[in-house]
């Protein structure tokens, strides 16, 4: 089964020598993963350098067809719409946003400018969801439903599916956005990112047990779930554990294929 994995953070060697694109490629080879989506660094991670995160990643991926790119946006600047347009112009299909690490409020006017521009340019947004040592009031998982309400054509994923603490909230947001009763031509635009949820002894506050995974699949369907790496914070051992866990759920081959890359390919147009 060809695997297309989401959610790899990559960096220039001078910023993070353990998170380079070459190191990611080594992991993909070891874990028999065909393709992956990479995120450009956040702007605060290259502060003090002359690196433009989006342009750096565009150049690095120019001759690496195995890898695809997502850009990042600094919502604290006054050119948010221009930053989003630059991501689209670079040929990237999405944006990685992390309200905790980037310290912004999900429902702030600045963030809404990014969501509006992403919807305009048909870009997918990958959000961190769940505890990450920042004020919880700024990233309440239920607030993602407000984003879906205000931007009904915006596709986005809740990575870690809210984590251990907010799993029920993330599940509620996704289920609430599944058309009921079914409407021809209308579909759910919110996805669950199965990233860093497979290991009990590493970031347990994001851990999802087998029963919880099966319940998630039963309620939202395999077509709403996307497998992710969280490289370089997960390396070979954790990645192999994740793949073995998913393959051990007893899913139909077609459903497993959706989670391991089919949904990502469909949404990105690859």
Tokens of 187: 């579909």
Q: Examine the pLDDT at 121 and tell me if it is beyond 90.
A: yes
Query: Which domains does the chain show, CATH number per domain?
Result: 4-268 (3.20.20.140)
Give the helix ranges, DSSP H, for 39-162. Answer: 53-61, 80-89, 109-120, 144-150
**pLDDT tens per residue, range 64-75:** 999 999 999 999
Q: Examine the pLDDT at 237 and tell me if it is beyond 90.
A: yes
With contact defined as beta carbons under 8 Å apart, do 151 and 119 qualify?
yes
Cα separation values, 94 from 7, 115, 119, 154, 245, Å: 11, 11, 10, 11, 27
- Average pLDDT estimate for 132-139: 94
**pLDDT tens per residue, range 70-113:** 999 999 999 999 999 999 999 999 999 999 999 999 999 999 99
- Average pLDDT estimate for 177-203: 94
């Amino acid at each position: 089964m060809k695997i297309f994995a989401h959610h790899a953070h990559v960096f220039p060697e001078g910023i993070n020598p353990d998170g380079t694109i070459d190191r990611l490629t080594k992991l993909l080879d070891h874990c028999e993963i065909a393709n992956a989506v990479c995120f450009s660094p956040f702007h605060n991670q290259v502060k003090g350098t002359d690196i433009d995160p989006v342009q750096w990643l565009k150049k690095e991926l120019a001759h690496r067809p195995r890898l695809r790119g997502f850009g990042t946006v600094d919502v604290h600047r006054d050119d948010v719409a221009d930053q989003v347009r630059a991501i689209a112009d670079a040929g990237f299909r999405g944006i990685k946003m992390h309200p905790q690490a980037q310290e912004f409020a999900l429902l702030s006017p600045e963030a809404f400018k990014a969501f509006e521009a992403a919807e305009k340019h048909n870009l997918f947004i990958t959000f961190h969801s769940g505890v990450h040592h920042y004020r919880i009031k700024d990233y309440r998982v239920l607030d993602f439903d407000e984003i879906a309400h205000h931007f009904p054509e915006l596709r986005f994923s809740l990575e870690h599916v809210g984590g251990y603490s907010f799993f029920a909230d993330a599940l509620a947001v996704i289920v609430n956005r599944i058309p009921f009763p079914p409407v021809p031509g209308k579909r759910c635009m919110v996805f669950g990112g199965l990233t860093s949820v497979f290991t009990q002894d590493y970031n347990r506050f994001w851990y999802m047990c087998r029963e919880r995974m099966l319940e998630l699949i039963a309620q939202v369907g395999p077509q709403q779930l996307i497998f992710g790496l969280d490289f370089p914070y997960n390396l070979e051992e954790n990645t192999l554990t994740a793949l073995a866990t998913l393959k051990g759920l007893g899913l139909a081959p077609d459903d497993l294929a959706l989670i391991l890359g089919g949904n990502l390919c469909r949404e990105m147009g690859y």
